[in-house]
Amino acid sequence: MDKSVFDRFKYFMERETPVFRSYVMKKANGEILDIETLPPDDLQEMFIDEVITDGVIADLFDVEQKVVTKKRYKHGIKFGQTLSRKSIELIENISKLIETKDVSEDIELVLIPIKIIIHPDDDLIFAPYHAFENDGRQYPFYDYEGLEEVDTETFCVRISRVKREIESMLEEIIEFLCECEWEDEVYFERENDSKVDVSAILFADEDSTAAKINLAVSLHISGLHKSGDLIFDTEYDLGTGSLSFQTEGSDFELDVDDIQDLFLECWSSVNHYVQIQNEIELELEDEI
């Protein structure tokens, strides 16, 4: 067994990283790791659950970082992913995980969202729930069939509040770009809001000069996901200034054009940053 392999990845193995650890063990035992045969599920768990960056995975598999990044995006493994393998397993085995704890006493009403409604004129996003009275079930959120419906509740948040969170996140990213040099992917997350969750990743594909921002917006509506229910995510190309919106992964049925019309203005500060950078580059080219 090659102890030097353990020494190289010791820092990452000290955390709870069972999948990553298993590949380190294979490499230490002399097995040649092939990134092409790496199962997407394992790559997803290493990247999403175990927070192992592309650079570290590339080092383990003896390939360039862009090879790992390209494989991730080929299989749709990117920031804003709503359900990792670990999350799915958690849901599937929830009854086993809570056998030793009776949580039914803490859940009097089970709130199941019906749909999400966006009303720009009133500056509101709201989602009506079906409200059921818990009859003592251990985890009624996942097993509410047959429960008596007692009332109607509604999740509600102001659109302007969501916009402020997005704009604050983007301002933080711009400040980082102005002050820091970076190579690996950089993560940003805002957890100061009980209803809105905005997270982002700064990354580059094959061309390290073509940086992009992937930003996802989630709302804590159903309580099913720790990071909230994904509403939409975006990708902004800092090289071209192009911005795309996606709602395919949303937990609700949403029209991407409506979302874009509503939140497009939030990226004005980033557009301004790109414009300034382009002007600086043009001035430098003229001086040469």
pLDDT (tens digit per residue) in 231-241: 999 999 998 89
CB 182 within 8 A of CB 203: no
Q: How far apart are CA 173 and CA 170, in angstroms?
A: 5
Burial of 68 (0-12, 13-18, 19+ CB in 10 A): buried
DSSP H helices, 220-267, are 256-263
pLDDT tens digits, one per residue of 6-50: 888 887 777 788 899 999 999 999 999 999 999 988 998 888 888
Provide the 8-state DSSP code for 41.
Answer: H
Q: What are phi and psi of 16, to 5 degrees?
A: -85, 90
Q: What pLDDT does residue 143 have?
A: 72
For 285, phi then psi, to 5°, come to -65, -35
DSSP symbol at 147: P
Contact 155, 126 (CB under 8 A): yes
CB 185 within 8 A of CB 66: no
Per-residue pLDDT of 78-133, as tens digits, reads 654 434 554 555 444 444 443 444 444 467 777 888 889 999 999 999 999 888 88
Tokens for 126?
């709201």
Quick one: CA torsion of 184, 34, 89, 225, rounded to 10 degrees? Answer: 20
SS3 state of residue 278 = helix
Q: What is the DSSP string of 56-85?
A: HHHHHHTS-HHHHHHHHHHTT--TT-S--H
CA 49 to chain centroid = 11
Highest-confidence segment of 49-53, 161-165, 186-190: 161-165
CA Rg, the chain, in Å? 22
